Chain A
Amino acid sequence: MKKITAFGSFLGLAVVLLWYANRDGESARVKRVVEEARSAVSWDGSETALQQIAAAGRLAGADEVKGAVLAARQHIPRLEVQFLDLTVSFTDPTHAKVELTANATTDKPKEINPQEFVLLLHKNEGHWYIDRVETIRTLQSQ
């Protein structure tokens, strides 16, 4: 009886650990996609037009986001984006929600515009893609 209890406990612990490790792995994968997005929306102005298109193409997800990034690249000579306080939550195994604060610095040294965002991602054939990017207003003016 003791052996069965010990085996059961061991099995339960192993299942919990596996579930946790897998969940943590998914979270890391989502964070990697977000980090790729961050690097695609940061540039230093020394890239050629082809490099700009390739960088925007690294964004895994919505075409309108890629388009907006590409357009912004042509107008702003340098943009460095930092993602702060990034938290990942899963609504189900194939859908994730990422909350973060984006902090952008441009050529003007004092211009820092933090903005809250929510990124909605979905998983397709083992890969995570950004479905939608929503801006969150920290303060409601009306």
Chain B
Amino acid sequence: MLTVAPQGMLTAETRPRPPWWKIVLVGRNPKVTAIRLVITVSLVWITARYVLLPTRVTGISMEPTYRDGQIGFVNRLASWMRPVQRGDVLAIRMAGEHAMLLKRVVGLPGERLQILRGKVLINDAPLDEPYVINRAPWNIPPIQLSEDEYYVIGDNRGMPQSLHEFGRASRSRVVGRFVR
């Protein structure tokens, strides 16, 4: 079917095609491209700030699972989707979220925990920890965790106990689960 355009108006058929570089830069329809760009940037910003926090691992306390300089994400929504479980790697906030401790959960709320010659005992039963390669003879007397606490340790148990930061972390300090 033929359409007749009023004088001075261009139909889709008669409108000149923009040069290729313009299409590459701003698309066929700049308005739509701008809206898409704004939506994409907003989604990325919201995701990076509130859902998946980009994080760089520093230090050796989580070796060999995570090495110094590795990049990963802290999933803030993970603990909403399923409760924290033993073996999860959590990001624990300090004064804020620009520096966080990355540790593995070994003790859950309400449990009794002890470390005897490097072996973690939960309610007097030894914990199977396949992620631990070397084990220095650490010792921690029995501790009763409250209903609001997790016990977290790094995977590098070969290092001296005095140089490794580990212990009870309150639920309010948990930012999210670390994912690669």
A residues adjacent to B (C-beta < 8 A): 84-87, 99-101, 103, 110, 112, 114-117, 136-142
A85 touches B98 (CB 8 A): yes
Residues of A close to B59: CB separation below 8 A: 110, 112
Q: Could you say which of A87, A103, A137 contacts B99, with CB atoms under 8 Å apart?
A: A103
The answer for the CA separation of A44 and B59 in the assembled complex, in Å, is 22
Residues of B close to A112: CB separation below 8 A: 58-59
Q: Could you say which of B95, B141, B168 contacts A139, with CB atoms under 8 Å apart?
A: B168
B residues adjacent to A (C-beta < 8 A): 58-60, 68, 92, 94-99, 101, 103, 140-141, 143, 152, 165-169, 173
Nearest-Cβ distance from residue B45 to partner chain A, whole angstroms: 20
Q: Which of A117, A139, A141 has the most CB of B within 10 A?
A: A139
Residues of B close to A140: CB separation below 8 A: 167-168
B92 touches A114 (CB 8 A): no
B94 touches A116 (CB 8 A): yes
B170's nearest neighbour on chain A, judged by CB, is A140
The answer for the CA separation of A99 and B98 in the assembled complex, in Å, is 13
B95 touches A87 (CB 8 A): yes
Q: Decide yes or no: A138 and B166 within 8 Å by CB, A101-B99, A110-B58 being known contacts.
A: no
Q: Which of B92, B96, B168, B173 has the most CB of A within 10 A?
A: B96
